[in-house]
Amino acid sequence: RTSADAAGGVTVLGLGAMGTALARTLLAAGHPVTVWNRTRARAEALAAEGATVADTPEAATAANPLVIVCVLDYAAVRQTLEPAAAALAGRALVNLTNGTPAQAGETAAWANGHGADYLDGGIMAIPPMIGHPGATLLYSGSRAAFDTHQRTLERFGVAAYLDKDPGAAPLYDIALLSAMYGLFGGALHAIALVGPGEGRATEFTSTLLLPWLQAMMASVPEFARQLDTGDFDSRAATSNLAMQAAAYANLLDASETAGVDPLLLRPMGELLRRAAAEGHGDRDVPALGTLLRTERR
């Protein structure tokens, strides 16, 4: 790792909630920051905090050796970067836009074709967390770009380099977001069942829901161990899947009766029924994981 970039100049393309948080964090750490945003007013707001506003993505890209892009999606990435392609040669391009591994691979090939070192990234944080404990950003792609700019990237939070395959960071990002949405969906369904209002949701959440989720979370490392080893020992099952499939029907029935749409719950019920039908009824929850992968790596 070099220290050459300790307070080096950085370009930030895209100043939505996240891009603004990234640029502010760099400014606060003393980096010269050049910004560009499709809607210029958002960039002007940062000028008051010391950023230099570029008129075009190309001018912004040409300004610094490290260029960070964080916009809505990869279509917006291309719309932003294509006019700047001529300025990319010799720069490190770090794309923190949410996307798929395939999109990351295509963008890496495109950026490399224009002479840039490409790093893809997944931000495991919301904007107020940037620059504070608890924020982790995943990176994959050019190891050289990561090593050169690691200290700058650490301004945002823990900087974890995963692999030279640019698709690795978006894959892990999407895996973590999948777990988050499962958790959020389950919590929202539970609160809807209790019937929010008059403080019921707040009381239910603090006294019962959070302790329950924390207790159940303790099972997840064992899921991972069994999936890693393939050791689904039925004799060790404490909550067999046939029993769970039978009980799960009550969740759907009671939700409908309570006027709560069970759309978030149905897929797990289908998986439990399938597991029982395919002979996994005497196994425990981790065996469900074997039914999810439609093709092996």
Which amino acid appears at position 201 of this protein?
A
Q: Given the rule CB under 6 A, which of 61-69, 76-84, 234-242, 251-259 is the region that contacts ligand FVH?
A: 76-84
Query: 90-149: which residues touch ligand FVH (CB under 6 A)?
Result: 97-98, 123, 126-127
> In the bound complex, what is the minimum distance in angstroms from residue 20's beta carbon to ligand FVH?
7
Nearest CA to 84 among 139, 36, 17, 15? 36
- Chosen residue from 70, 85, 237, 260 binding ligand FVH by CB under 6 A: 70
Please give the Cα distance from 294 to 159 (Å, whole number). 32
Nearest CA to 6 among 26, 23, 22? 26
- Chosen residue from 7, 8, 9, 16 binding ligand FVH by CB under 6 A: 16
Nearer to ligand FVH, 12 or 237 (CB): 12
> In the bound complex, what is the minimum distance in angstroms from residue 97's beta carbon to ligand FVH?
4
If binding is defined by CB under 6 A, does position 237 make contact with ligand FVH?
A: no
Nearer to ligand FVH, 66 or 123 (CB): 123
If binding is defined by CB under 6 A, does position 42 make contact with ligand FVH?
A: yes
Q: Given the rule CB under 6 A, which of 14-22, 183-191, 230-238, 267-275 is the region that contacts ligand FVH?
A: 14-22
Nearer to ligand FVH, 107 or 240 (CB): 107
Computed from CA positions of residues 99, 118, 295, 238, in that sequence, does the dihedral angle turn out positive or negative?
A: negative
- Given a contact cutoff of 8 angstroms between Cβ atoms, the answer to whether 138 and 162 are in contact is yes
Q: Given the rule CB under 6 A, which of 3-11, 15-23, 60-68, 283-291 is the region that contacts ligand FVH?
A: 15-23
Please give the Cα distance from 263 to 255 (Å, whole number). 10
Computed from CA positions of residues 147, 153, 157, 159, in that sequence, does the dihedral angle turn out positive or negative?
A: negative
Q: For the chain, give the longest Cα–Cα distance.
A: 67
Which H helix or E strand runs over 210?
helix 210-217
Please give the Cα distance from 209 to 203 (Å, whole number). 9
**Residues contacting ligand FVH: total by CB under 6 A:** 22
- Chosen residue from 6, 28, 47, 72 binding ligand FVH by CB under 6 A: 72
Nearer to ligand FVH, 103 or 226 (CB): 103
If binding is defined by CB under 6 A, does position 180 make contact with ligand FVH?
A: no
Token digits of residue 141:
């792609």
Nearer to ligand FVH, 118 or 232 (CB): 118
If binding is defined by CB under 6 A, does position 39 make contact with ligand FVH?
A: yes
If binding is defined by CB under 6 A, does position 18 make contact with ligand FVH?
A: yes
- Chosen residue from 79, 100, 112, 150 binding ligand FVH by CB under 6 A: 79
If phi > 0 it is left, if psi is from -120 to 50 it is alpha, else beta; for residue 112 that is: alpha
Which amino acid appears at position 217 of this protein?
M
Which amino acid appears at position 167 of this protein?
G
Neighbours of 205 (CB within 10 A): 17
Contact residues for ligand FVH (CB under 6 A)? Answer: 14-19, 37-39, 42, 70-73, 76, 79-80, 97-98, 123, 126-127
